[in-house]
């Protein structure tokens, strides 16, 4: 009886042996705590795509909490990126005219590099992140596209931050 009473607390403590507090950053980013996010470049024809992408990435970093923000002179690493592609594809067409779309999918591609702040030639991580969203075609197609773009950017930014913070 006494042995079982002592055994229960001991077993409950053993179950937490492999757990670590904090994030599980990739080994190459173990010493990176503060990141400076540069304004993204825009290689597309979409106006303001660079500001939407930069805002989405900083928001995703703030929500994740693995890294802190810093100015470029106080950061451990600097994130540079480009909006390389924004595509729209038709999901569903009109019943009477199949060439007239009723629902579209937009896909955003971000290309990025995380550079060492003390040695900008050294690249700590790099990759490509994509995000998608769907939109219904309104009478004003341009407004519908502009309203759906931030959602796709947020999904691409979450993918980017997940790759840096978790390694996948």
> What's residue 2's pLDDT?
61
Please give the structure tokens belonging to residue 109.
């591609």
**pTM, rounded to two decimals:** 0.81
All structural domains of the chain, each given as residue ranges with its CATH number in brackets, are: 31-166 (3.40.50.10610)
Q: State the Rg of the chain over Cα.
A: 22
Q: Are 153 and 145 within 8 A, CB to CB?
A: no
Q: Which residues of the chain have pLDDT under 70?
A: 1-23, 98-99
> What's residue 108's pLDDT?
97
- The 10s digit of each residue's pLDDT in 119-128 is 989 999 999 9
Helix (H, G, I), strand (E, B), or coil: what is residue 129?
strand
> What's residue 14's pLDDT?
60
DSSP 52-94: HHHHHHHHHHHHH-SSEE--TTT-SEEEEEEEEEEEEEEEEE-
> What's residue 19's pLDDT?
52
> What's residue 146's pLDDT?
87
């Amino acid at each position: 009886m006494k042995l079982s009473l002592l055994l229960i607390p001991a077993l409950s403590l053993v179950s937490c042996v492999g757990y670590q507090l904090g994030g599980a950053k990739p080994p190459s980013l173990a010493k990176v705590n503060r990141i400076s996010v540069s304004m993204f470049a825009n290689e597309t024809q979409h106006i303001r795509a660079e500001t939407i992408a930069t805002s989405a990435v900083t928001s995703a970093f703030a929500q994740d909490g693995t890294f802190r923000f810093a100015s470029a002179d106080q950061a451990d690493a600097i994130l540079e990126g480009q909006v390389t592609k924004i595509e729209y594809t038709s999901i569903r067409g009109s019943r009477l005219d199949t060439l007239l779309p009723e629902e579209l999918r937009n896909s955003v591609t971000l290309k990025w590099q995380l550079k060492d702040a003390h040695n900008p030639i050294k690249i700590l991580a790099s990759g490509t992140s994509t995000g998608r969203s769907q939109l219904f075609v309104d009478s004003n197609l341009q407004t519908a596209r502009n309203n759906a773009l931030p959602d796709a950017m947020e999904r691409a930014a979450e993918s980017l931050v997940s790759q840096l913070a978790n390694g996948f």
